Chain A
Amino acid sequence: MRYVDEFRDPGLIRRAAEQIRRLAAVDRQFRIMEVCGGHTHAIYRFGLDELLPPNVELIHGPGCPVCVLPMGRVDAGLSLAVDHGVIFTSFGDVMRVPGRNGTPLQHMARGIDVRMVYSPLDALEIARREPDRHVVFFAIGFETTAPSTALTIARARDLGVANFSVLSNHVTILPAIKAVLDSPDMRIDGFIGPGHVSTVIGSRPYRFIASHYRKPVVVSGFEPLDLLHGIAMLLRQLREGRAEVENQYARVVPDDGNAPALRALDDVFELRTFFEWRGLGFISHSALKIRQRYAPWDAERRFDVPTIEVTDPVAAQCGEVLKGVLKPHQCKLFGTECTPERPVGALMVSSEGACAACFGRVDRGTAAPGAAAAGAL
C-alpha cells in the first residue's frame, strides 16, 4: 500500500529506534505526550513503545473524541430515537459507548432505529431515501472531522433536505492541550502534535506551546516511521534546548492548514461558550455548535434535547488518565471492573482510548508496558 508500506520498512525502523537510543543516552527522563488518540492506537498497534529506551516515556493525551464525550450526550442523542422515533446515525466508534440505558448497539438490539455510517454523507443519503423519517447524525470528532460535518450540513441545505439534522459534539484540540499544560500535575517535556487535525488547522496554531510554555511540538504522521521520526525530532530539540514547532508529516500537513476546510467550519459552526469534557470538566470555547443560519439542520434546535448529567463512577479515574497524570493500569478499575468487554469509561470503549489501547499489553500491570513482554518472548 503506497505511502503506508514504505513507512513500515523494518530496516528504517531499526535505524530510527537506534537514533532514539543515541539521543536519549543521557541521565534524565524524557516525558513525551502524544495528544491524539489515533497516535495512541498506532503506538500500541505497532508496538512502538517496545522500541523506546526506558527513560523515554510516552504519556497518552486527551485527543480521543469518544473518550472525552460526556456520557450524558450519548443519552441525549439516543433519547431522540427513543422518544421521537428519529433514525440515530453515527460512526462505528460511537456504537459501543455506554449510556445510562445501554450503548447504541444495545438500543439497536431492543428495536430502536440505530444505524452505523462511514460518512456523514451516508446519513444524509438515508434521509433522502426515507423522506418520511427524520435522520439525526450524532457528530463526533476534532477538527479533522468537523469540516466533513460542515460540508454535509451545507449540502443538506443546498439540496433542500428537511428531514436531516446534526447533533454536534465536535470539540477543538487546542483547549484540550492547554488544559494539560495548565494542569498542576503536568510534567510533560514535549508533544507529538496531532497529524490529521493539523491537515485542517496547520502547524502554526501550536506555536503558543513553544513560545509561551517552552515545550517543543512535532506534528507527526501515524505510521511507525512517522512516530519514531517525530520522537527523535523531539529528543533532538530537548537535547539542544530548543522549543519549536516542527512538521514531521509535511507530505500531508500544510503549515497553513486547509483553507476550504477552515472556511466551511467558519460558515457552519461557532464556538460554544463552554462545553463539558469528560474528565477535564467544563472548558470555555472548546466545542462547536451549529450557527443560527443553519438552524433547521441543528438537532439541538429542532428538538428539545435534554441536558443529561451523568457522572462517572467515583472509582473511575478517566480524568486523570486523560490528562496523563495516571497511567491506565493505575486506575483502580482497570482490568477488573473496567475491561474492553464491560467498559466503565469511554477510554476503554474506544479503540484509541488509552485504556483500551494498552489493555493488549501482556504485562498490563507494570510501569513500563512492553518491556517485560519483550523479555518474556
Chain B
Amino acid sequence: MCLAIPGQIVALGPEQHLAVVEVLKVRRPVNVDLLKDEGVAVGDWVLIHVGFAMSKISDVEAVEQLRLLSMLGEDEDAMRELEGYRFDEIR
C-alpha cells in the first residue's frame, strides 16, 4: 500500500495547516497537520501521500544510508576471512 512521494516545501500557507509542496516542478497544496508537533519550514523535504505530508525526510539519514550501501561488501571481505574458520553458520 501507500504510494508516497518525496517533495520539497516551497511556500507555507495560505492557511496554517497548508503548505505548497513541489515534486519535479509540479506544485500542490498539501496538508501539514501531521507534522505540527515538529513544525515545517520552507526548504524541508517531506513525504506526501493523498494530499498530506506524512513525515520529514532526514537528509542525514539518507546520506548515511547511501554511504552504507556504497560500502556493502567491504565488511563482507572481513567476514569471508572468518568464514575460512567455519563461523558462517551460527545457529
A residues near B (Cβ < 8 Å) are 1-4, 6-7, 12, 15-16, 18-19, 22-23, 26, 36-38, 63-65, 91, 118-122, 141-142, 144-145, 147-148, 151, 194-197, 199-200, 225, 229, 232, 239-241, 248, 250-254, 258-261, 264, 352
Do B47 and A252 have beta carbons less than 8 Å apart? Answer: yes
- Selected from B3, B23, B58, the residue in CB contact (under 8 A) with A251 is B58
CA distance A23 to B50 in the complex (A): 38
A3 and B36: CB pair below 8 A? no
**Contact (Cβ within 8 A) A3 B52:** no
List the 4 closest A-B pairs by CB distance, nearest first: A119-B51, A196-B2, A251-B61, A3-B6
Is the pair A196, B1 in contact by a Cβ cutoff of 8 Å? yes
Further 8 A-B residue pairs, CB within 8 A, beyond A2-B6, A196-B49: A1-B24, A26-B89, A38-B2, A151-B31, A199-B4, A250-B65, A252-B58, A261-B54
- B78 within 8 Å of A (CB atoms): no
Interface magnitude class on chain B: 35 or more
Q: Does B73 make an interface contact (CB < 8 A)?
A: yes
Least CB distance, B42 to chain A, in whole angstroms? 16
A145 to B48, CA, bound (A): 11
Please tell me if the beta carbons of A2 and B45 are within 8 angstroms of each other in the complex.
yes
Chain B binding surface SS class: mixed
Q: Chain B's nearest CB lies how many Å from the CB of A13?
A: 9
Which residues 63-87 of B sit at the A interface, judged by CB distance below 8 A?
65-66, 68-70, 72-73, 76
Q: Does B44 contact A (CB under 8 A)?
A: no
The verdict on A148 contacting B72 (CB below 8 Å), with A3-B45, A64-B1, A239-B88 known, is no
What residues on A are CB-neighbors of B89 within 8 Å?
26, 239
Chain A residues near B54 (CB-CB < 8 A): 144, 196, 199-200, 258, 261
Contact B66 A260 (CB under 8 A): no
Chain B residues whose C-beta falls within 8 Å of the C-beta of A3 in the assembled complex: 6, 45, 57, 62
Q: A1-B23, A252-B57 are in contact. Are A65 and B1 (CB under 8 A)?
A: yes
On whether the beta carbons of B31 and A121 are closer than 8 Å, the reply is yes
B3, B55, B59: the one contacting A258 at CB < 8 Å is B55
Count chain B CB atoms within 10 A of each CB in A37, A64, A252 and give the residue with the most. A252
Other-chain residue from A2, A7, A196 in contact with B4 (beta carbon distance below 8 A): A196
Do A145 and B45 have beta carbons less than 8 Å apart?
Answer: no
Q: List 27 A-B contacts (CB under 8 A).
A: A3-B57, A7-B66, A12-B66, A15-B70, A15-B72, A16-B72, A22-B73, A37-B1, A38-B2, A63-B1, A91-B50, A119-B51, A121-B31, A141-B1, A148-B50, A151-B52, A196-B2, A197-B1, A197-B2, A229-B72, A239-B88, A251-B61, A251-B65, A260-B35, A261-B34, A261-B54, A352-B1
Q: Is the CB of B73 within 8 A of A19?
A: yes
- Which chain B positions have C-beta within 8 A of A119? 50-52
| A259→B55 CA distance, assembly (Å) | 11
